[in-house]
Chains A and B, each alone.
Chain A
């Protein structure tokens, strides 16, 4: 009896010490690692979802000069202590906006005159040259999108709290005025990183 119990406890302890094996997870699931030292993929998912929904609810794109309106991606600033590619946020927003059918994103006009897709820009210029329209005004965006990601940290005892603040602004290029702004704050609290909500 005692030997069987000791054997069971030893086996369980050994298994626990090994830790779980690596497995694939649903990237939008509820059992992903939650970190207190950096934004997680679910934070970007949630922020992008909320932002796009807020933009749709505002109805701002109903006033666009054409449908679908053309969007240019402007400056995206990561002002947190973590290093990450801001495309983790902007790409999700772009995909979601494209899915609404209300916006198309220009890849031939970019920040500081650098197109996101240089080949598309070259082909566009070549086509314009061949058709004798090389002096035509390029297809300028109707709106531009800027974003900033901020971080706020605090703690009480051994409980740490971190907030990631996602700020987005949509500017109408006809007036230069901001026509929609969104802010989404995602707060995480705990003593250490964990798995799931």
Chain B
């Protein structure tokens, strides 16, 4: 019986590691505002490490964001992501860009994730990254 408990405990502990990473910009102006990462998943970060954040304005007053993501892995990897938008009061805004999207990233590749604010009132954003092929899911 003891032999069964150990593998079950190990599996549940490792599965619990599949948590999200979050990226938050340090400023709201156009250009490269700098960013802060809240890392809770080291494996995910090794294949979707944010290296650069850029912001500008399109269509007159809509904020556009581009985030560069680098994979340090030696095989192609998948991850999913979602941008979440907030108004000036910090209230969450629903709309375009809210759906989770899946991306494949090749070994040692840098890709760009781009989004546009759902409304001119959307001034703040955060990016959530989630693992879609955790080693235990294979």
Beyond A46-B101, A100-B120, list 4 extra A-B contacts (CB 8 Å): A8-B4, A45-B98, A101-B119, A101-B120
Q: Considering only CB atoms and an 8 Å cut-off, how many residues of chain A contact the other chain? A: 28
14 contacts between A and B (CB under 8 A): A1-B1, A5-B4, A8-B4, A28-B100, A42-B99, A42-B100, A49-B97, A59-B59, A62-B59, A96-B118, A100-B59, A100-B118, A100-B119, A197-B100
Report B15 CB to chain A, min CB distance, Å.
14
Give Cα distance in the complex from A49 to B118, angstroms.
9
In the complex, the answer to whether A99 meets B96 with C-beta atoms within 8 Å is: yes
**Does A89 belong to the interface (CB within 8 Å)?**
no
Task: Please give, as numbers and ranges, the residues of chain B lying within 8 Å of A126 by CB-CB distance.
Answer: none
**Does B22 belong to the interface (CB within 8 Å)?**
no
Report A142 CB to chain B, min CB distance, Å.
16
Residue among A59, A62, A99 with most chain B CB within 10 A: A99
Give Cα distance in the complex from A61 to B61, angstroms.
12
The listed residue (A61, A62, A96, A102) touching B96 by CB distance below 8 A is A96
Q: B33-75, CB under 8 A of A: which get 1 and which 0?
A: 0000000000000000000000000111010100000000000
**Does A57 belong to the interface (CB within 8 Å)?**
yes
**Does B123 belong to the interface (CB within 8 Å)?**
no
The prevalent SS among residues of A at the interface is helix
Known: A61-B59, A62-B59. A99 touches B119 (CB 8 A): yes
Give Cα distance in the complex from A29 to B81, angstroms.
10
Give Cα distance in the complex from A48 to B118, angstroms.
12
Report B79 CB to chain A, min CB distance, Å.
9
Look across to chain B and name the residue whose beta carbon is closest to the beta carbon of A2: B1
In the complex, the answer to whether A196 meets B132 with C-beta atoms within 8 Å is: yes
In the complex, the answer to whether A57 meets B96 with C-beta atoms within 8 Å is: no
Give Cα distance in the complex from A118 to B1, angstroms.
70
Residue among B58, B95, B102 with most chain A CB within 10 A: B95
The listed residue (A42, A53, A62, A197) touching B132 by CB distance below 8 A is A197
**Does A52 belong to the interface (CB within 8 Å)?**
yes
Q: A14-32, CB under 8 A of B: which get 1 and which 0?
A: 0000000000000011100
**Does B32 belong to the interface (CB within 8 Å)?**
no
Task: Please give, as numbers and ranges, the residues of chain A lying within 8 Å of B102 by CB-CB distance.
Answer: 30, 197
Chain A residues 18 to 75 lying within 8 A of chain B, measured CB to CB, are 28-30, 42, 45-46, 48-49, 52-53, 56-59, 61-62
7 tightest A-B CB contacts, nearest first: A45-B99, A30-B100, A197-B132, A53-B116, A197-B102, A96-B96, A56-B59
Known: A30-B130, A56-B58, A57-B58. A5 touches B1 (CB 8 A): yes
